Chains A and B, each alone.
Chain A
Amino acid sequence: MASLDELKRTFFDECGELLQDMETGLTDLQDGSGSEDTVHAVFRAVHSIKGGAGIFGFEGLVEFAHVFETVLDSVRHGTLHQTPEVFTVLLTSSDMLSDLVGMSRSGEAIPAGHASECKQALEQLLGKGPAGSSNGGEDAGDFAGLDFKPVPAGGGDDDFGFTPVRSDDADGPAGDGKKSYTITFRPRPEMLRNANEPLYILRELRGLGALDLVADLSGLPPLSDIQPDQPYVSWSGTLRTDAPRKAIDDVFEFVVGDCDLSVVEEEPPPAAEAAPPPEMHDDVAVAAPAAPVAEHKKPGRSQPAADAEGGKGGSANKKQATTTRVDLDKIDRVVNMVGELIIAQAMLGQVVQGLSEEVNGRLSQVLDQTIHHTRELKESVMSMRAQQVGSVFQRMPRLVRELCMKTGKKVRLEMTGESTEVDRTIVERLADPLTHIIRNSADHGIESPEDRLAVGKSEEGTIHLSAAQRGGRIVIEIKDDGAGINTERVLRKAKEKNLVDQDVSLTDDEICNLIFLPGFSTADTVSDISGRGVGMDVVRRNIQDLGGRVTLKSERGKGMTIQLALPLTLAVMDGMVIKVGENIYVMPMSSIVECLHPGSSEAYNLLNTRGMLKLRGELVQLVYLSDLFDVKSNARGILESVVIITEAGDGAKFGLVVDELCGHQQVVIKSIEDSYGRVPGIAAATIFGNGKVALILDVEKLSELSAESMMPGNSTQPVVVSATTH
């Protein structure tokens, strides 16, 4: 049994989802993409928060939610029109509700009058004084003055607690206005499939009067042949009742098309004599002109059967996703086990390779199959951990609204790709960097309305937030149409703070990237908004911690684009195992464009470079892994090497020169940062089936490292990395 605290926690988790529904709904309504259903959904969200808050005793929350709900109810019923002013109040109120939920969750006391201003604004919308006070005299849990009498259920000799209407016995006077009906009822398989239970129908029939039925068991097969979903029994007999014919038809209303049914009214017996109870036979002839009961389908009747089959009606399309809550730890345990499984499998692969040809052949077939399944298992588990980035994006509209209020700027936030899925951990750790970047954009990037008009832009600035999956990565882009980065100012600041040499000459791109340096902040006055001691360096650091990369493009006067490229998962990846000399490394498959053995006509030597490769008419810079990591290569020259063409973040290709490719493998990512700190060019490590450790290359960084080592004045200083895989 869950404890009250656990239940409260669940309630707040639900509140989080409800608040998100509410925000999304309100935003949709505001930009006109909402429908009537959206209004209902928003109302329901607030209503549910109120309901739950009441049950769990959060009075402050209930009080505010109540007024909010009342206003939404007016919107729902069309008595309050959806004007921009109304939306302003609704959006502010939704922020307030989030705040109150947050406070209730953390156990903070809600300061007196905290929500009063917002509440007043809501009440004003209703055009009257305080909206029906939440406990207006109904604190007893009942509606005073309401004439409601609880309806006791009938006596209890039936499962449903209702008393069947007793017929006055069978031998009573016949002239009591009662009629006799001969009924035969044979369910068809469809009836059971539509979740209708014959027993219930018979019980219902019994409720109408004196029912005398005989079951026909002749259709019953031997026990071994019985199919549980087939009806084998039919019934026939009489019903004596004073209920109208319609009452009988009603009983069969839901099954009339799914059974063979006949209901025939018998001739009333002569009034003087008591009618003998009709004899029942299995083969009762129902010869009388049967008034067919069938085919009187009523439109719009509610029939659970249709849904039980699912997928038929239009309503099935709107079927809610059925979800179950699972502790994240449990999923992580599965993820870890899958990781271990992959390692064990690799070990198995090694063993198999060492076996004789004959055994090997059969075994490796099975192994291939296992590998296939493991891969699927990994993907399923990863998708369990996946979450839509929308959950982080949803926090941004509010942020922008608040920024607009504080700065007097006009900013519209557009979002696309919210449904892109990425590992949960990444989503969670994305919130801070994203918040910071958007704050920056709104605070520093977008100009004031006057300034914008002066340079011929529209008064309202736009920040476009998008997410998309590209290859094995997810790319999140934050693009604004503001002033872009003021390169002179950035360079001046950087020099003032001695972050660069005084006489350095840098390209605009390089200057823009200075803002990622630790200790850099151009804000002249630390503003309430961006200046929280968190600079872009922290953003970059956060993204890098996730195995991601930040790139920035700025165009003076036109705006700035920041791109975050992130891995889809943090646990397992598809890797290419490569070898340089005796050292083995792993390269993420997602960063490989192609691999090739260069011919002599394709390799070039140019000044200041170790070489270029001509690839289909395009020159590609070569990067020797042996040089970068200062390890010995076994290949004598480029012609004995393999070149792996990869793509750096800015789209530029370069060729990584290695000795050989050892194969494609799923590898489990193990961080080495805790033990070794950050090593440039190395993303992480992995363990192979033979127990050896290999380093996973950080391809982005490799291209940077090689560019640095090639810069004039920089002696080619190799990075001190040596993978010891012995």
Chain B
Amino acid sequence: MPAAAALKVLIVDDQFSVRQMTRMTLEQLGIRNVYESENGKDALNKASVQPLDLIISDYNMPEMDGLALLRAVRGHPAVRKLPFILLTGRGDRELVVKAAQAGVNNYLVKPFTQVTLREKIEQVIGKLS
């Protein structure tokens, strides 16, 4: 059972406010080690130097979008197994299919609640303690 306090999570979103909001929700779940990136490239750099337990990434971002990030992560020897949750909009059914093919661990439709977030995380890394 992974301890929430020990989990290291990277949030990737180009919007500061959304990152902050996600951080807040994660902190409410007891996850204190939260890192942020504002685009896919930065996320990939961070992930390759900073040990992480989970990436939660938005899809729509300039430079490198969430799907491209997912593919890059899966193709990177050091982090290819890193659990990855993709944030999607309400209409992005096709995106989820593509993400599944690219090896996403889970997806989360925005806007989400604390309950859904917890549920989605737990489906990937097990019950949080």
State the A residues within 8 Å of B (CB): 1-2, 4, 7-8, 10-11, 14, 41, 44, 47-48, 50-52, 54-57, 66, 70, 132, 134-135, 138, 141-143, 146, 148, 150-154, 156, 159-162, 195-197, 200-201, 203-204, 207, 250-254, 301-302, 304, 307-308, 315, 318, 320, 325
For residue A2, which residues in chain B have a CB less than 8 angstroms away from its CB?
Answer: 20, 24
CA distance A201 to B76 in the complex (A): 10
Residue in B20, B79, B90, B107 whose CB lies within 8 Å of A135? B90
Interchain nearest-CB distance for A38 vs B (Å): 12
Residue in B17, B39, B51 whose CB lies within 8 Å of A52? B17
Q: Knowing that A2-B20, A320-B38 are A-B contacts, what are 14 other residue pairs whose CB atoms are under 8 Å apart, sorted by A's residue number?
A: A14-B15, A47-B89, A51-B58, A141-B108, A146-B96, A152-B123, A156-B126, A160-B53, A160-B81, A161-B125, A302-B71, A304-B45, A315-B63, A320-B39
For residue A156, which residues in chain B have a CB less than 8 angstroms away from its CB?
Answer: 2, 125-126
For residue A138, which residues in chain B have a CB less than 8 angstroms away from its CB?
Answer: 90, 109
For residue A207, which residues in chain B have a CB less than 8 angstroms away from its CB?
Answer: 81
Residue in A50, A141, A252 whose CB lies within 8 Å of B109? A141
CA distance A92 to B38 in the complex (A): 30
State the B residues within 8 Å of A (CB): 2, 14-18, 20-21, 24, 27, 38-39, 41, 44-45, 48-49, 51-53, 58, 60-63, 68, 71-72, 75-83, 89-91, 93, 96-97, 100, 103-113, 116, 120, 123-126
For residue A254, which residues in chain B have a CB less than 8 angstroms away from its CB?
Answer: 76-77
The answer on a CB contact under 8 Å between A197 and B62 is no
The answer on a CB contact under 8 Å between B39 and A57 is no
Residue in A54, A70, A142 whose CB lies within 8 Å of B110? A54
For residue B58, which residues in chain A have a CB less than 8 angstroms away from its CB?
Answer: 51
For residue A304, which residues in chain B have a CB less than 8 angstroms away from its CB?
Answer: 41, 44-45, 48, 72, 76
Residue in A41, A153, A160 whose CB lies within 8 Å of B79? A160
> In the complex, which residue of chain A has the Cβ closest to the Cβ of B73?
A302
Q: List 15 A-B contacts (CB under 8 A).
A: A47-B89, A51-B18, A56-B17, A141-B108, A143-B93, A146-B97, A152-B125, A196-B48, A197-B48, A197-B78, A203-B78, A204-B77, A302-B44, A304-B45, A304-B48
Interchain nearest-CB distance for B104 vs A (Å): 7
Interchain nearest-CB distance for A674 vs B (Å): 38
The answer on a CB contact under 8 Å between B81 and A154 is yes
Residue in B15, B79, B105 whose CB lies within 8 Å of A150? B105
CA distance A307 to B62 in the complex (A): 15
Interchain nearest-CB distance for B5 vs A (Å): 15
Interchain nearest-CB distance for A123 vs B (Å): 15
Pairs of residues from A and B, 6 with the lowest C-beta to C-beta distance, nearest first = A200-B78, A11-B17, A54-B111, A150-B123, A162-B81, A153-B83
Identify whether the interface residues of B are mostly helix, strand, loop, or mixed. Answer: loop
Interchain nearest-CB distance for B85 vs A (Å): 9
Interchain nearest-CB distance for A256 vs B (Å): 11
CA distance A251 to B81 in the complex (A): 13
The answer on a CB contact under 8 Å between A51 and B89 is yes
The answer on a CB contact under 8 Å between A302 and B72 is yes
Given contacts A47-B89, A160-B82, A161-B83, contact A148 B48 (CB under 8 A): no
Interchain nearest-CB distance for B34 vs A (Å): 12
Residue in B41, B72, B77, B116 whose CB lies within 8 Å of A251? B77
The answer on a CB contact under 8 Å between A55 and B21 is yes
Residue in B27, B51, B79, B96 whose CB lies within 8 Å of A148? B96
Residue in A8, A197, A301 whose CB lies within 8 Å of B49? A197
Interchain nearest-CB distance for B91 vs A (Å): 6
The answer on a CB contact under 8 Å between B125 and A153 is yes
For residue A196, which residues in chain B have a CB less than 8 angstroms away from its CB?
Answer: 48, 78
Interchain nearest-CB distance for B25 vs A (Å): 9
The answer on a CB contact under 8 Å between A320 and B63 is yes
CA distance A200 to B51 in the complex (A): 10
Identify whether the interface residues of A are mostly helix, strand, loop, or mixed. Answer: loop
The answer on a CB contact under 8 Å between A7 and B17 is yes
CA distance A47 to B39 in the complex (A): 15
The answer on a CB contact under 8 Å between B53 and A161 is yes
CA distance A161 to B58 in the complex (A): 22
Interchain nearest-CB distance for A455 vs B (Å): 48
For residue A143, which residues in chain B have a CB less than 8 angstroms away from its CB?
Answer: 93, 96, 109
CA distance A304 to B73 in the complex (A): 10
CA distance A55 to B20 in the complex (A): 11
For residue B103, which residues in chain A have a CB less than 8 angstroms away from its CB?
Answer: 151
For residue A134, which residues in chain B have a CB less than 8 angstroms away from its CB?
Answer: 90-91
For residue B126, which residues in chain A have a CB less than 8 angstroms away from its CB?
Answer: 152-153, 156
The answer on a CB contact under 8 Å between B116 and A141 is yes
> In the complex, which residue of chain A has the Cβ closest to the Cβ of B61?
A44
Interchain nearest-CB distance for B13 vs A (Å): 8
CA distance A251 to B79 in the complex (A): 11
Interface centre among B63, B89, B97 (most CB of A within 10 A): B89
CA distance A51 to B43 in the complex (A): 20
CA distance A415 to B20 in the complex (A): 36
Interchain nearest-CB distance for A3 vs B (Å): 9
CA distance A57 to B71 in the complex (A): 31
Residue in B21, B39, B78 whose CB lies within 8 Å of A7? B21
> In the complex, which residue of chain A has the Cβ closest to the Cβ of B78?
A200
Interface centre among B72, B82, B91 (most CB of A within 10 A): B91
Interchain nearest-CB distance for B84 vs A (Å): 9
CA distance A307 to B76 in the complex (A): 15
For residue B123, which residues in chain A have a CB less than 8 angstroms away from its CB?
Answer: 150, 152
Interchain nearest-CB distance for A161 vs B (Å): 6
The answer on a CB contact under 8 Å between A200 and B77 is yes
Interchain nearest-CB distance for B102 vs A (Å): 11
Interchain nearest-CB distance for B54 vs A (Å): 8
CA distance A154 to B49 in the complex (A): 21
For residue A14, which residues in chain B have a CB less than 8 angstroms away from its CB?
Answer: 15-17
For residue B109, which residues in chain A have a CB less than 8 angstroms away from its CB?
Answer: 138, 141-143
CA distance A421 to B63 in the complex (A): 27
Residue in A10, A153, A301 whose CB lies within 8 Å of B20? A10
Interchain nearest-CB distance for A590 vs B (Å): 38
Interchain nearest-CB distance for A87 vs B (Å): 23
> In the complex, which residue of chain B has the Cβ closest to the Cβ of A49?
B15
Interchain nearest-CB distance for A720 vs B (Å): 54
CA distance A203 to B76 in the complex (A): 13
For residue A7, which residues in chain B have a CB less than 8 angstroms away from its CB?
Answer: 17, 20-21, 24
Interchain nearest-CB distance for B66 vs A (Å): 12
> In the complex, which residue of chain B has the Cβ closest to the Cβ of A135?
B90
Interchain nearest-CB distance for B73 vs A (Å): 9
For residue B81, which residues in chain A have a CB less than 8 angstroms away from its CB?
Answer: 153-154, 160-162, 207
CA distance A203 to B90 in the complex (A): 38
> In the complex, which residue of chain B has the Cβ closest to the Cβ of A197?
B78
The answer on a CB contact under 8 Å between A52 and B18 is yes
For residue A308, which residues in chain B have a CB less than 8 angstroms away from its CB?
Answer: 45
Residue in A150, A153, A320 whose CB lies within 8 Å of B62? A320
CA distance A706 to B125 in the complex (A): 81
The answer on a CB contact under 8 Å between B77 and A201 is yes
Residue in A55, A148, A302 whose CB lies within 8 Å of B18? A55
> In the complex, which residue of chain B has the Cβ closest to the Cβ of A144?
B93
For residue B51, which residues in chain A have a CB less than 8 angstroms away from its CB?
Answer: 159-160
Residue in A1, A56, A204, A325 whose CB lies within 8 Å of B78? A204
CA distance A253 to B1 in the complex (A): 34
